[in-house]
A = this chain, B = another copy of it.
Amino acid sequence: LFLGTAAGGGVPQWNCNCPVCQAARRGDGRVRPRTQSCVAVSADGRRWFLLNASPDLRAQLERAPALHPPAGRPRGSPIEAVLLTNADLDHTLGLFLLREGERLAAHATREIRQSLAQGLALEATLGAFCGLDWVDPPNRPAPLRCRDGSPSGLFYEALDLGGRPPRFAKQPGAANGHSLGYRLSDEATGGRFLFLPGMSSLEGPAGACLSECEALAFDGTFWTDNEMPERGVGNLTAAAMGHVPISGPQGSLNVLAGLKVRHKIYVHINNTNPALFEDSPERAAVTAAGCTVAADGMELVI
């Protein structure tokens, strides 16, 4: 369940006048508004796991009846845990929004936890509310467990994507453990979902196993490497922000086009990305390659 499909800032972004944001505000159907990236997965439709915790989580949960509190108790939630791909604010601020609930379980590497301790005092502050338990994500398939320790019917493994800590973290630059992908599989059906919302490179082990899944959710942040500077809305290139662009000879679309994967989906799409226009040549190119640009509310059964 794709709760949110935009990169940081969402579509439209509060302070942005780029053509995409303007169109999203006009509401003429050319650009659908999107909240910030977050996916919910479940084997049984009853117990759910969040992939990242979007700043828009409150609105996202409200729009998803499957994630409403179950009947019969004054308070409660079908959310069993959050799996973090990195410490970026657009993936982690939503953890604070879960503070009114039961003790929270979050899966992340030591490096991601350290960034969140430095940049948000996360564990200490949640400790004054629900409390937070960290879980080390495994690097080979292992059962994904619910709060009570019972198996969820899903297996999962984390793929280390290399990359850098977020810019607010006071840590040495390139190192392992700062950026993850996840592959989840359904114990009953064997269906696999590969979640890679932030990929700095198509090389490496994660790039080599892109086709080993039935559904791939891939980094769709930028169309070109210098999209932000070109639109006058930032100085950083896609590469500097840890994202491989969709287009170009080194872009992801060339690779995804050749993959024999049933569902090939771009997620974490920045508001500057022209593929957000439903009627754009960029969108047509994505579709021609057998890929989809994700939209909020999209549901996938594997």
Q: Which A residues contact B (CB, under 8 angstroms)?
A: 8-10, 12-18, 25, 33, 55-59, 61-62, 67-69, 71-77, 89, 93, 96-101, 118-121, 124-125, 127-129, 166-168, 231-233
Residue of B nearest to A231 (CB): B74
Closest CB of chain B to A263's CB: distance in Å? 28
B69, A16: Cβ atoms under 8 Å?
A: yes
List the B side residues contacting A233 at CB < 8 Å. Answer: 74-75
Closest CB of chain B to A173's CB: distance in Å? 14
B62, A59: Cβ atoms under 8 Å?
A: no
List the B side residues contacting A120 at CB < 8 Å. Answer: 120-121, 125
Residue of B nearest to A121 (CB): B121
Q: Is the interface of A mostly helix, strand, loop or mixed?
A: loop
B119, A77: Cβ atoms under 8 Å?
A: no
A128, B93: Cβ atoms under 8 Å?
A: no
CA distance A100 to B72 in the complex (A): 42
A–B pairs, 30, beta carbons within 8 Å = A8-B100, A9-B100, A14-B57, A14-B62, A14-B67, A14-B98, A14-B100, A14-B101, A15-B77, A15-B101, A16-B74, A16-B75, A25-B68, A33-B62, A55-B55, A55-B93, A55-B97, A56-B59, A74-B231, A75-B232, A75-B233, A93-B96, A119-B124, A120-B121, A121-B121, A124-B168, A127-B168, A128-B166, A128-B168, A129-B167
List the B side residues contacting A118 at CB < 8 Å. Answer: 121
List the B side residues contacting A8 at CB < 8 Å. Answer: 100
List the B side residues contacting A166 at CB < 8 Å. Answer: 128
B17, A168: Cβ atoms under 8 Å?
A: no
Contact flag A10-B168 (CB < 8 Å), given A73-B17, A100-B15:
no
Residue of B nearest to A271 (CB): B100
B58, A14: Cβ atoms under 8 Å?
A: yes
Please indicate which of the listed interface residues A14, A69, A73 has the most CB atoms of chain B within 10 Å of its own CB: A14
